[in-house]
Amino acid sequence: MAVDITLLFKASVKTVKTRNKAIGIGFDSTKDEIFKRSRPKSGFSPKAKEVITNITKLKDFLLQHRKDYVSAGSLISSDLTRMTDSERDQIDQDAQIFMRTCSEAIKQLRNEAEKKVTSAQIKEHRGAVLDLIEMYLKGVCKLYSEQRAIRVKRMVDKKRIDMTRFHFVFLPVEKSVSEVLDNTVEHLWEEGRVEDELSPEEIQMFEQENQRLVSEMNSLVDEVRQIEGKVVEISRLQEIFAEKVLQQETEIDSIHQLVVGATENVKEGNEDIREAIKNNAGFRVWILFFLVMCSFSLLFLDWYDS
């Protein structure tokens, strides 16, 4: 079934526009407007609102398709409303790209606020606004991580059910294992042929086979429990990873600013060293000129006295 991802596409386009505006690459959108609006004094508020709107659209998109997305491996969902695995993978890819784009837009707005704003109060206000937007984005990332964890868990449950069916494929669908065994035992006792048809070796062989099946089922249950625990752990680690990625982007940005400042300081230091070298060279020239003039003066006086 094809999924309508128009909202996600529009949100991605708007996020790219916001990022281009933040770095100074924009276009004149007022040409298509009938009534010209007055230019705002600062472009921070419209850009921040646009980022919030895009994050909200991503959240609405995830909630809208949550039922179809997390129904991976479900046995009761109809085939008409079921989403294919390729469509789920495409949603994962688009959502991750969209979240990274929003994070980059927030980072660019933060850089712009740090560089272009001179008032400490305005800078603090914009920093608080960006912190709230970043918290909002983290919440949406957490929502996406939970949905993905549910999808993975249901896929694991489906594989577990398939494995169970594979082990009990010889049983009829309308009867359980216990019913079949009870009916078989009762039938054999009623006929009085248990002693006649089954030898002790066969009984021992069947007991060993039953023990083997029980041990296999116990090991299968243990494996399923381990997989469920790993799925929960993966969900928790993915949430921590999303938070750490956002923190690392902020730290990388601050390190980049420090590196730029250090580079500028090194350039200024090199210029000062060049100036000092030039000044020392000029000073040496003046000393040499003074010594030469003194030598000529002494020679002139010696010649004049003689």
The answer to whether position 135 is within a domain reads yes
Range of the domain at 16: 1-24+42-155
CA–chain centroid gap for 48, Å, is 21
Nearest 10 degrees: Cα torsion 112, 10, 8, 240: 0
Q: Is the pTM of this model over 0.75?
A: no
Residue type, 49: K
Q: Is residue 255 part of a domain?
A: no
Q: Whose CA is closest to 184, among 165, 170, 163, 167?
A: 170
105 located within any domain:
yes
- 127 in any annotated domain: yes
Q: Is there a contact between 67 and 151 (Cβ–Cβ < 8 Å)?
A: no
- What does the pLDDT look like over 89-101, one tens digit per residue? 888 888 888 888 8
Residues 6+ apart with CB under 8 A from 73: 154, 155, 156, 157, 158, 159
Q: Number of structural domains, the chain?
A: 1
Whether 141 contacts 223, CB under 8 Å:
no
Please say if the pLDDT value at position 194 is more than 70.
no
Min mean pLDDT across 86-100, 132-146, 223-237 is at 223-237
Domain annotation covers residue 176:
no
Rounded mean pLDDT, 109-137: 84
Task: Identify the weakest region by mean pLDDT among 94-98, 258-262, 279-283, 290-294.
Answer: 279-283
In a domain, residue 150? The reply is yes
Determine how many CB atoms are found less than 10 A away from the CB of residue 163.
Answer: 12
Query: In what helix (H) or strand (E) does residue 151 lie, and over which residues does it extend?
Result: helix 120-167
Give the DSSP letter of residue 2.
Answer: -
Report pLDDT for 224. 78
> What's the Rg (C-alpha) of the chain?
38
Residue 210 domain-assigned? no
Structural domain contains residue 29: no
Q: Report how far residue 104's alpha carbon sits from residue 93's, in angstroms, rounded to the nearest whole number.
A: 17
CA angle 198, 201, 202 (to 5 degrees): 45
